[in-house]
Structure 1
């Protein structure tokens, strides 16, 4: 056995022991900058399935899980229950362990940008690997990927510009030679509500760089430091907020472009914010990951707050990516591992321990649940869709506002974490708020049933609820 193999086996044994022993995570509670009762968990190669600590990209799905792309140790999927699944070259169909970006399409497929093309993990658990062009002598580094929601996929390829692959698989190439794109190095894509695409590019020795906007009807508009207030032509990230504002991360600061007006966020020093990633929470607050200045938060009033390792539990100030999952938890990809910042509603709830399974009957018919009802502070919580449909209501989920909307005999709105619900527009207090358990939205059973004019009977001996 070679020394390299011995070292590798030793590392694997160390990792296995760490996982078996459920290594202690780094936990702390912060009251910094008004963020209270939040739990920070630092995942590293010493206490998790990470093989290396460089986490470069993150993407949350609609099921409460998150995809993790690393720079050298492949990909990881963490499901809503916290289970880790690892995907690496050789052991799976992943093309390369050095990843640069990850995106999800509308069909449930996951696509990875690698240093030698694209690896797609399909919904049926198969893999599809491809290049964008025929000239692959020096490899093909894909730096950015974004699904447009119409079955298409945009690719940023170092030295080649942008490629758009439509739902039929046809590829269109946009370079500085055949289009108005201002650079052959593309860093980011974002889509607006008008069907246009915003393209972030990097300044090169003979190309301007900056931002390109391609409208739905094929017209190009360019923004750079010469014709606009863009802080730099080296653009790292473009993000379109729910209100339509375009947020742009550059190596010299963060910019917002909205209603043809620019707002620049600066730290007023020689070294400006180098912004690598931007996202938004359900309340409309903007978060920006920086390289060297930690995490930025811009609230809905425009106030900027800077979180650094010197005054918060952040492991360091070098962050590649920031992402927010469906539970509202904030995830940070750093060069020292994966940081998870759990929201208050995720932290304060104790584990559910009850002696019997709760059964629920509506008009003598048992309601089937995929997640069992639980009792929290004397209140029975049940999966929202199953109970409301059993009571004759339609149910939809508003992701942007993180609330349940139910229509039928009455119109009901319940927001995750809030102790006030609305019935036909009238506010009613709840003893306990709706929450997410095992990826399912759970709501107070009695509150729902009685506000729909049903009678609720509880049998403590049998743990049975009857609704009539």
Structure 2
């Protein structure tokens, strides 16, 4: 059995065995129990977008934001971080907001946003902000200029102006989830996927995510679809999912898939679904969103029942292995090296993810060295899988 080491430069990691779901609610400090979105900053803080505002949790202390201290509206539908660690919020009726840690800046239709009803928000590696709006299509904001994609000016890509989700893949392509299917924009042309021209399980696309091997996953109200670029594979309750209404999905560091459903949380190892309910510690069976933090833990946003966390695997105290598992130099401009016991680099593979969790580089190494010169400056997470161990560490590209 492989051991899993999570070596984090920002946290002391303690041993956790037989972990269960732990739920946080307003009684613990969360600002609102209706958790709609979860994101993580570069310092490892957990952020929660709720119907009553935004909460930041550093593992001990909660810091809450609402209209009393800067937000234009408390109903945060979606949150994300850009490459500069600014928080962006999609608000239900008041556009979008940027929070730099001190100041909240609001953007609405008066500034160029397509519609003030924002539903999803994402940042790409170049700093562009994409917003899914309800009734106005998709807005792109580069910090100066606004660009709108809607059913009128982009009929080959936007089949309906009610947009549910926007995502960016590892290649920088924009993916859009709508009530009429999904589309992808490569910067030049659009491609639409729906039930008429593909094997997409349902047109009501509620979330899109990408796995480490390049597959694109679509969660819909009728089940889940996986698309490898050629072949579609669909999953529903007959395959083991607890409910066909799938709100969100994510892949963990071990390659397993986690789904937020209206029947609890479901874990999929590629063969078998394992389902979790309130008897396992979830706050509710109605799960709005699911996300993975930098430590590999899975967070679920519950409908009116707070946020629940599940620790994946066993955590080993970093101090017990100091000097045995390390990456240097860190920060680095080009080559980083790994130090492991006995220098056993046999069958070593690695994956590097950005702060949005997107896998942007992967490969193998026979000598424990990796070239990161092609990466943009910033904070990344590297997962190294050797013949005996798996460990994860933050790295900084200068």
Alignment of 1:126 with 2:103, yes or no, is yes
Q: SS of 2:314's equivalent? A: helix
Identify the residue that residue 88 of structure 1 maps to in structure 2: 66
- The correspondence of residues 193-232 of structure 1 with structure 2, limited to 5 A, is 193-202=170-179, 209-216=180-187, 218-232=188-202
Identify the residue that residue 362 of structure 1 maps to in structure 2: none
Determine which structure has greater relative contact order: mean sequence separation of CA pairs < 8 Å that are 6+ residues apart, divided by chain length.
Answer: 2
Alignment of 1:281 with 2:252, yes or no, is yes
Which residue, 319, 338, 341 being the options, matches 2:310?
Answer: 341
Residues 61 and 326 of structure 1 are in contact (CA less than 8 Å); yes or no, is this contact kept in structure 2?
A: no
Identify the residue that residue 57 of structure 1 maps to in structure 2: 37
Gaps of 5+ in 1: 1-28, 30-35, 203-208, 350-373, 442-468
Query: Residues 340-392 of structure 1: CA distance to partner in whole angstroms, max 9, x if unpaired?
Result: 1123434x75xxxxxxxxxxxxxxxxxxxxxxxx854xx65699568989xxx
Greater C-alpha radius of gyration? 1
- The correspondence of residues 288-367 of structure 1 with structure 2, limited to 5 A, is 288-291=259-262, 293-299=263-269, 302-309=270-277, 312-335=280-303, 336-346=305-315
Identify the residue that residue 263 of structure 1 maps to in structure 2: 233
Query: Residues 225-282 of structure 1: CA distance to partner in whole angstroms, max 9, x if unpaired?
Result: 1221122211111112222211001111111111311100010399951111111112
> How far 1:187 moved relative to its partner?
0.9
> How far 1:66 moved relative to its partner?
1.7
In 2, Cα distance between equivalents of 1:169 and 1:134: 10
With over 3 angstroms needed to count, the CA separation of the structure-2 counterparts of 1:150 and 1:219, relative to structure 1, is: same
With over 3 angstroms needed to count, the CA separation of the structure-2 counterparts of 1:381 and 1:96, relative to structure 1, is: farther
> How far 1:200 moved relative to its partner?
0.3
Which residue, 143, 146, 153 being the options, matches 1:171?
Answer: 146
Which piece of structure 1 moves more, 190-199 or 305-314? 305-314
In 2, Cα distance between equivalents of 1:150 and 1:119: 18
Residues 329 and 337 of structure 2 are in contact (CA less than 8 Å); yes or no, is this contact kept in structure 1?
A: no
Identify the residue that residue 134 of structure 2 maps to in structure 1: 158
> How far 1:130 moved relative to its partner?
0.8
In 2, Cα distance between equivalents of 1:135 and 1:283: 41
In 2, Cα distance between equivalents of 1:135 and 1:196: 22
RMSD of aligned residue pairs (Cα, Å): 3.6
Alignment of 1:184 with 2:161, yes or no, is yes
Identify the residue that residue 39 of structure 1 maps to in structure 2: 20
> How far 1:82 moved relative to its partner?
3.3
> How far 1:63 moved relative to its partner?
2.7
Q: SS of 1:268's equivalent? A: helix
- The number of residue pairs the alignment matches comes to 340
Which residue, 197, 206, 214 being the options, matches 1:244?
Answer: 214
Larger helix share, 1 or 2? 1
- The correspondence of residues 428-447 of structure 1 with structure 2, limited to 5 A, is none
> How far 1:131 moved relative to its partner?
0.7
In 2, Cα distance between equivalents of 1:144 and 1:97: 15
Gaps of 5+ in 2: 1-15, 339-349, 371-380
In 1, Cα distance between equivalents of 2:230 and 2:55: 40
In 1, Cα distance between equivalents of 2:235 and 2:251: 16
Q: TM-score, normalised by structure 1?
A: 0.64
Query: Residues 176-221 of structure 1: CA distance to partner in whole angstroms, max 9, x if unpaired?
Result: 111120111111122234432111012xxxxxx11112122x2121
> How far 1:60 moved relative to its partner?
2.0
In 1, Cα distance between equivalents of 2:148 and 2:98: 20
Query: Residues 4-55 of structure 1: CA distance to partner in whole angstroms, max 9, x if unpaired?
Result: xxxxxxxxxxxxxxxxxxxxxxxxx9xxxxxx71132111112x11233111
Identify the residue that residue 69 of structure 1 maps to in structure 2: 49
Structure 1 segments (4+ residues) deviating >6 Å: 385-389, 433-436
In 1, Cα distance between equivalents of 2:322 and 2:299: 31
With over 3 angstroms needed to count, the CA separation of the structure-2 counterparts of 1:77 and 1:268, relative to structure 1, is: same
Identify the residue that residue 14 of structure 1 maps to in structure 2: none
